[in-house]
Structure 1
């Protein structure tokens, strides 16, 4: 199966998968305003998605801690404003990812603990990392596509439409994700994707591809797998939620997810960080802003010089007020690719946006949303809009035990 292309962070060094020794903070590095954080400072964790507050781009993971077989507290996390989410090898929003999905992420300490959207661990419980702000979340197929890996199937064993798959995945020393050989459970809930078809294991049995009962060697068949919860997850056991048997099947899944996310961004607008402002007279200004990474290339292609548009102020969760009528109309005067190999979170693309009147929310370091003229000028749903700086729905109290 081919590897996934056009990933901004494909050349980043792998971060060591955590063990109990690195669950405590090794230093006090925190992402700084106006910068994309150093990739080597991120800590990598994996776990099952068990709660999502998509409005505020935060949630909870039930972590998998290597060589630690005790039930721990949940890892509550918030996405950094420029944090990227990938699902089925395509850009995604938290709302797109089903609960129970095994995710792999890179995390930092909160930029400002006083304003963190989730509480920070005190570091005493080794199962709860102090790094709780994610710059990257991705499911298993996305990670494998990024690293150019596939699962290889060794053997299937079935009895009455349920059984096990023996499969292996290569992981270099210090690499992310799972590695080695695993015995994974399957049953009639397991979805099997082949080309544009959705099958079940009963269909593979009917076609004599898999046996109705007993074992069959699968000769290192190359596939992609999405894993889910298993009652013995503390012991690194997993259930197979999805199997993609061929490249076409995963291409279909990725394209559907890509189109879904493109619609989401076009109706909520492209997030960006204000870098500098060139002030003119009587409130007029030209704003230079970096578009965030992790988007479809078609979306970036809509930003062109001499195209009109609108800019709206946003908070770090990417929520806005009423952008359709409290944003500021303006014009894109320049588009520059300033970094061919941008860090995670950045597209490497800067726009210069001229407005007749500068707004307070457009100051350097602040987050904005921008639309070119051919994107919808619409109001987001009421639960996604900001009412005031003091009011956040839901409250961070939902994460307290």
Structure 2
């Protein structure tokens, strides 16, 4: 992921006017709006869902913020690249949003100015959970106190942020109970295990000297007052690394079997339909996936839609050859990997026009079609209707 976003949460959170990206471009991160909310609905096939935002008025009224991921939108979970299907409903997420690039074919309802509490920015370029945000910032929660009574209680922790972004800051009291998953090294523990081992009290309080931990925050009955429940607690760095590695491997398998998404930059037409198609691979993927794209090897490219869905890529994709791999010298914008691929095909397809979305695989990735529910199966299916959501 681009290092550009490391220090920009505060500046994007106060961007003056809603910004509408131009289709076929990577928008400036400074124009994004930052919001925090709880994931309450997911349509992973079409990369869209709903958040209960932590926004005054909007949050209190319980209205949902329906969102769609931009084609190049980055998702991170447990410190690793992810897909929406990986994130449990109820997880607190942090995101950066823009207006829909093409309102007429938006997969979620467009927000009008008639409702001042409903943010109009509903297309996400970044979504990540609390542990991913903390790990990217090099931060950790400092555990101060645990209080238990018959298998449930509270955890008090602090987190210092100098910026005024959407990340939580200061001291927070959060609930824990027997449903809280506690990770230590490669062990999965419960409250009863820590009590039995004498690390936590069966009843009463225990003070801690700022032990560094990572948290996964979820729904709390007093969510209207922005209180949180701890669904996962990582007690040490080894546990954090194990969680990140498990998610990383899940992501790698997903991309290898669905292929790398990219945007077409140009198409150099030759004789008899022959062409060289230049694409920019999307960002936010694991580095080992990018390393598989090498000059001189074969591969296949298939047309895709803004949801990243394809038709029948193992059949209707076009075999070809990677003739060049170029990496941008400067830090690429969020959403772009900065890696540009020149792909030679014997016959160019309609979906390989500049600005279009494609999926591409190097020859050592599986040549398979995705599950039937993930494929585009008809003309109207190319643009999912926003009628699924309550307006």
Q: Does the pair score TM above 0.5?
A: yes
Q: What corresponds to 2:185 in structure 1?
A: 195
Q: Give the corresponding residue for 2:369.
A: 379
Tell me the residue number matched to 2:228: 238
The answer to whether residue 160 in structure 2 is matched with residue 166 in structure 1 is no
* Residues 1:80 and 2:70 are matched in the alignment: yes
Change (3 A) 1:128 1:326: same
Q: Secondary structure at the match of 1:16?
A: helix
Q: CA deviation at 1:17?
A: 8.4
Alpha-carbon distance, 1:393 to partner: 8.6
Query: Could you tell me which residue of structure 2 aligns to residue 346 of structure 1?
Result: 336
**Cα–Cα, structure 1 residues 215 and 66, in superposed 2: closer, same or farther, change >3 Å?**
farther
Partner residue in 2 for 1:183: 173
Change in Cα spacing, 1:299 to 1:317, as seen in structure 2 (3 Å) is same
CA distance in 2: counterparts of 1:393 and 1:116, whole angstroms? 8
Q: Does 1:155 align with 2:149?
A: no
> Which of 249, 252, 256 is the matching residue for 1:266?
256
What is the Cα deviation at residue 400 of structure 1?
A: 2.4
State the Cα deviation string for residues 33-74 of structure 1 (Å, max 9, x = none): 232110000000111111000110000001112587622310
- The yes-or-no answer on 1:16 pairing with 2:6 is no
Deviation at 1:391, TM superposition (A): 2.7
Residues 1:67 and 1:9: Cα distance change in structure 2 (over 3 Å): farther
Deviation at 1:125, TM superposition (A): 3.1
Q: Using the TM superposition, name which of 102-111 and 7-16 deviates more.
A: 7-16
Following the alignment from structure 2 to structure 1, what is the Cα–Cα distance between the partners of residues 6 and 354? 27
Structure 1 residue 8 displacement after superposition: 2.0
CA distance in 2 between counterparts of 1:360 and 1:290 reads: 18
Question: Which position in structure 1 is the counterpart of 2:241?
Answer: 251
Shift of 1:339: 3.9
Q: Answer yes or no: is 1:37 the counterpart of 2:31.
A: no
Q: Structure 1 residue aligned with 2:203, among 213, 219, 228? A: 213
| Structure 1 segment 8-157 matched on structure 2, within 5 A | 8-9=2-3, 11-16=5-10, 26-27=16-17, 29-66=19-56, 70-157=60-147
The range that moved more, 231-240 or 120-129, is: 120-129
Q: Write the distance in 2 (CA, Å) between the matches of 1:156 and 1:332.
A: 56
Match of 2:349 among 353, 359, 372: 359
Match of 1:324 in 2: 314
**Distance between the aligned counterparts of 2:58 and 2:144, measured in 1?**
27
Which secondary structure does the structure 1 equivalent of 2:271 belong to?
Answer: coil
Q: Deviations over 1:172-213 (max 9, x none)?
A: 232331111111000000010000000011111111111111
1:269–1:164: structure 2 CA closer, same or farther, 3 Å change rule? same
- Specify every segment of 5 or more residues in structure 1 that has no aligned partner in the other structure, as ranges: 1-6
- Structure 2 gaps of 5+ residues are none
Q: Report the TM-score, using the length of structure 1 for normalisation.
A: 0.94
Question: How far apart, in 1, do the equivalents of 2:76 and 2:147 lie?
Answer: 32
The alignment partner of 1:282 has SS state of helix
CA contact (8 A) 1:59 1:77 kept: yes
The corresponding residue for 1:284 is 274
| 1:130 Cα deviation after fit | 0.3
- Aligned residue number for residue 216 of structure 2: 226
Write out per-residue CA displacement over residues 120-149 of structure 1, whole angstroms, 9 at most, x where no aligned residue. 211333442100000000000000011111
Distance 2:55 2:11 in 1: 10
2:304 pairs, out of 299, 311, 314, with 314
Instruction: Name the CA distance, whole Å, in 2 between partners of 1:99 and 1:293.
Output: 25
CA deviation string 1:209-244 (max 9, x = no partner): 111111111111110001000111121210000100
SS in 2 for 1:332: strand
Q: How is 1:290-309 mapped onto 2 (pairs within 5 angstroms)? A: 290-309=280-299
2: distance between equivalents of 1:145 and 1:126? 34
SS in 1 for 2:108: coil
Secondary structure at the aligned position of 1:287 is classed as strand
